[in-house]
């Protein structure tokens, strides 16, 4: 979903008068049109930018949604469905439909729901005097004078220490994010937040698959159905084909769906790895045109590119270089959308610990299934079964470790408290450690959509993040996903015969870490100048002494230090945009 919207809810006469004035301003300044109103709220949308708005009574949906039973695009909501949605407080919206959308119940109390995939953005603010606002992007709120775009420096420090750890907090004062699957209730001049959808409902022991074959059939079918649904929205998709399993699964599903698509592989002479051979094999197997596009750090000075103002820093150099390269290819071949396998690692159960063996032990005891899982994990990570068994036993009896942040170049890092937890990461009693790790990874998946500038050219579709795919994956026991010493084993089984053996059996995974290092090397003096004379240092976020020491050193920086320095540079540019 790419269109803009804003909703205003009031409880006092003065708040109503203010909302009416803001609605007029939204029409005059932003070109938004009234999509619906009630005695408690008004909703305005950009009819030219929003894919669709579906209305039935007090129930409104902004964005793309599909019917649960057949995956067809939902052009309307029946009266019976609208009644179910309203009577359930919105939760049945997630049971009847899926997609990238925001649901709004324009009744008292007003309720706003964000789909569990996180594909549609939603932020909200308490505007005072009984007025609440929810909106698609922070620029809408700033241009209407609802928020000032003031940086919350303590939260920004937390973000730099835990850059993938999302909560309702953003790095701007008075701007909060509605979590995926969340429900915002606006009543009596205040906002309350709860989860209308929880991954734990599907990770429950009673809903787990017992046979790998059943799991593979269900997963393959739901990936195909979701990809087919998304392909119905595009005439000429361009697939970002990395050569890895996840993007190849998306391409194979598009082929099964009969879509007319082309592929592009992004490679870089500075990355240290070359994935072109794998991508070409997959494209040839699928009989799809393939383009090879070189990404060069020398071609882009990310410190000089214009920034879209967002509530968190998200313009990483690799994203910006990749998006510019993808846009150029899409423009040349007249593509109308982008398809990506991003998020597949999080969804399909790519765990790099002994947790699958610990889950087997806790669920089935010290028998055949546990010993088989130990052997699978040992083969996957090329270590001894004794080590895996010991680590699995420790993980089974010990509470999960809290996620620790990194402190490179962060001032006074030792005193920094962790951010509030994502609501999905609050595990119920008795949750298996592997499922805890799986869902913690899922909570980070929404960040893969952040800062993607290519959406200005065309919509970005990520079928593996679709709600039905996520729900099915959560029902797969973690030990099934390491069967045979292969990560994402069930997904590999699901696409056996639909992809070349070189992709299905691949154990390695390409990265662009080398390109990161090259960007840092090429822009090191500019980054130093940017940071040592910037807002992060001025506001005591940056440990300038540590940074100066790293810059002056002739030693190669560690991957963690290189990544942190780039994150700080992005954060500095973001701060200056405000």
What is the Cα Rg of the chain in Å? 24
Whether cis (ω within 30° of 0) applies to the bond prior to 46 is no
Rounded to whole angstroms, how far apart are CA atoms 465 and 488?
Answer: 15
**What pLDDT sits at residue 525?**
78
Encode pLDDT of 430-456 as tens digits. Answer: 999 999 999 999 998 888 888 787 888
For the CA atoms of 110, 116, 119, 120, the dihedral, rounded to the nearest 10 degrees, stands at 0
**Helix (H) or strand (E) segment spanning residue 436:** helix 433-444
* Mean pLDDT to the nearest integer, 125-142: 93
Say whether pLDDT at 329 is over 90. yes
* Mean pLDDT to the nearest integer, 245-267: 95
Mean pLDDT, the chain, integer? 90
Encode pLDDT of 153-168 as tens digits. Answer: 999 999 998 877 888 8
Rounded to whole angstroms, how far apart are CA atoms 566 and 321?
Answer: 14
**Helix (H) or strand (E) segment spanning residue 385:** helix 385-397
Query: Which residue carries 């080398």 as its tokens?
Result: 514
What contacts 382, CB < 8 A, 6 or more positions away? Answer: none
What contacts 516, CB < 8 A, 6 or more positions away? Answer: 317, 318, 559, 562, 563, 566
What contacts 326, CB < 8 A, 6 or more positions away? Answer: 238, 240, 264, 266, 293, 338, 454
Say whether pLDDT at 1 is over 50. no
Single pTM value for the model: 0.94
Q: How far is CA 443 from the centre of its chain?
A: 8
Burial of 291 (C-beta count, 10 Å sphere; 0-12/13-18/19+) = middle
Encode pLDDT of 552-561 as tens digits. Answer: 776 777 777 7
Ordered alpha helix ranges (H), 88-199: 91-96, 138-143, 153-161
What contacts 366, CB < 8 A, 6 or more positions away? Answer: none
For 1, the token pair is 């979903």
**Domain boundaries along the sequence of the chain:** 5-197, 211-343+446-465, 513-577
Q: How many CA atoms lie less than 13 Å away from 525 in the CB half-sphere?
A: 1
- Backbone φ and ψ for 103, nearest 5 degrees, come out as -105, 140
Q: How many CA atoms lie less than 13 Å away from 461 in the CB half-sphere?
A: 26
Rounded to whole angstroms, how far apart are CA atoms 466 and 64?
Answer: 12
Among 13-22, 49-58, 233-242, 546-555, the least confident range: 49-58
CA triple 431-245-223, angle to 5 deg: 65
Q: What percent of the chain has pLDDT over 70?
A: 94
| DSSP-derived pairing of the beta strands 190-195 and 237-240 | unpaired
**What pLDDT sits at residue 300?**
65
* Mean pLDDT to the nearest integer, 352-378: 95
Rounded to whole angstroms, how far apart are CA atoms 60 and 77?
Answer: 9
**Among the CATH numbers 3.40.190.10, 3.40.50.1110, 3.40.50.620, 3.40.640.10, which is that of 211-343+446-465?**
3.40.50.620
Q: 3-state DSSP call for residue 300?
A: coil
* Mean pLDDT to the nearest integer, 80-103: 95
Say whether pLDDT at 518 is over 80. no
Rounded to whole angstroms, how far apart are CA atoms 135 and 123?
Answer: 5
For 194, the token pair is 């709860």
Encode pLDDT of 231-240 as tens digits. Answer: 999 999 999 9
What contacts 275, CB < 8 A, 6 or more positions away? Answer: 242, 243, 244, 265, 267, 510
**What pLDDT sits at residue 373?**
96
Task: Specify the higher pLDDT residue, 265 or 49.
Answer: 265
Homologous superfamily of 5-197:
Aminohydrolase, N-terminal nucleophile (Ntn) domain (3.60.20.10)
* Mean pLDDT to the nearest integer, 137-141: 94
> Of how many residues is the chain composed?
578
Q: 3-state DSSP call for residue 195?
A: strand
Ordered alpha helix ranges (H), 2-146: 13-30, 79-87, 91-96, 138-143
* Mean pLDDT to the nearest integer, 480-503: 96
Q: How confident is the model at residue 113 (pLDDT cuts 50, 70, 90)?
A: very high
For 17, the token pair is 């008068």
Beta bridge partners of 55: 60
* Mean pLDDT to the nearest integer, 87-97: 95
């Amino acid at each position: 979903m790419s269109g803009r919207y804003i909703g205003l809810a009031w409880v006092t006469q003065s708040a109503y008068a203010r909302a009416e004035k803001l609605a007029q301003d939204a029409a005059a300044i932003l070109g938004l049109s009234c999509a619906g109103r009630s005695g408690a709220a008004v909703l305005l949308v950009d009819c030219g930018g929003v894919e669709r708005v579906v209305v039935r009574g007090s129930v409104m949906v902004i964005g793309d949604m599909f019917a649960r039973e057949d995956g067809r695009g939902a052009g309307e909501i029946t009266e019976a469905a609208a009644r179910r949605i309203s009577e359930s407080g919105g939760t049945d919206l997630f049971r009847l439909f899926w997609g990238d959308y925001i649901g709004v119940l324009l009744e008292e109390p007003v309720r706003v729901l964000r789909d569990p995939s996180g594909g549609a953005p939603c932020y909200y603010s308490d505007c005072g005097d009984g007025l609440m606002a929810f909106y698609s992007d922070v620029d809408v709120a700033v241009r209407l004078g609802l928020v000032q775009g003031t940086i919350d420096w303590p939260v920004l420090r937390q973000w730099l220490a835990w850059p993938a750890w999302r909560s309702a907090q953003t790095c701007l004062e008075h701007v909060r994010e509605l979590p995926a699957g969340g429900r915002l209730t606006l009543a009596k001049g205040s906002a309350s937040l709860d989860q209308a959808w929880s991954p734990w409902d599907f990770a429950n022991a009673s809903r787990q698959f017992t046979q790998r074959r059943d799991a593979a059939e269900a997963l393959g079918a739901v990936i195909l159905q979701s990809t087919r649904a998304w392909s119905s929205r595009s005439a000429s998709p361009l697939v970002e084909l990395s050569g890895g399993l996840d993007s190849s699964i998306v391409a194979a599903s598009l082929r099964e769906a009969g879509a007319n698509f082309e592929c592009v592989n992004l490679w870089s002479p500075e990355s240290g790895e070359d994935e072109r051979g794998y991508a070409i094999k997959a494209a040839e197997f699928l009989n799809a045109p393939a383009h090879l596009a070189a990404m060069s750090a020398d071609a882009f000075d990310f410190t000089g590119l214009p920034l879209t103002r967002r509530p968190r820093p998200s313009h990483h150099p690799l994203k910006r270089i990749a998006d510019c390269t993808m846009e150029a290819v899409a423009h040349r071949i007249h593509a109308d959308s982008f398809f990506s396998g991003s998020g597949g690692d999080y969804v399909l159960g790519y765990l790099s610990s002994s947790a699958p063996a610990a889950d087997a032990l806790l669920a089935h005891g010290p028998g055949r299934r546990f010993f088989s899982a130990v052997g699978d994990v040992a083969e996957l990570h090329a270590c001894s079964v004794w080590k895996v068994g010991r680590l699995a036993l420790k993980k089974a009896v010990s509470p999960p470790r809290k996620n620790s942040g990194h402190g490179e170049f962060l001032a006074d890092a030792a005193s920094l408290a962790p951010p509030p937890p994502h609501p999905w990461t609050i595990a119920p009693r008795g949750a298996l450690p592997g499922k805890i790790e799986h869902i913690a990874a899922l909570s980070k998946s929404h960040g893969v959509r952040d800062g993607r500038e290519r959406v200005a050219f065309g919509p970005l579709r990520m079928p593996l993040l679709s709600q039905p795919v996520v729900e099915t994956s959560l029902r797969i026991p973690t030990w099934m996903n390491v069967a045979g010493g292969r990560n994402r084993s069930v997904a590999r089984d699901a696409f056996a015969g639909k992809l070349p053996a070189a992709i299905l059996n691949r154990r390695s995974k390409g990265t662009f870490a080398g390109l990161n290092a090259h960007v840092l090397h090429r822009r090191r003096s500019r980054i130093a100048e940017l940071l040592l004379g910037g807002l992060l240092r001025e506001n005591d976020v940056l440990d300038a002494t540590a940074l100066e020491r790293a810059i002056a050193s002739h030693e190669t920086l560690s991957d963690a230090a290189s990544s942190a320095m780039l994150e700080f540079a992005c954060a500095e540019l973001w701060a200056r945009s405000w």
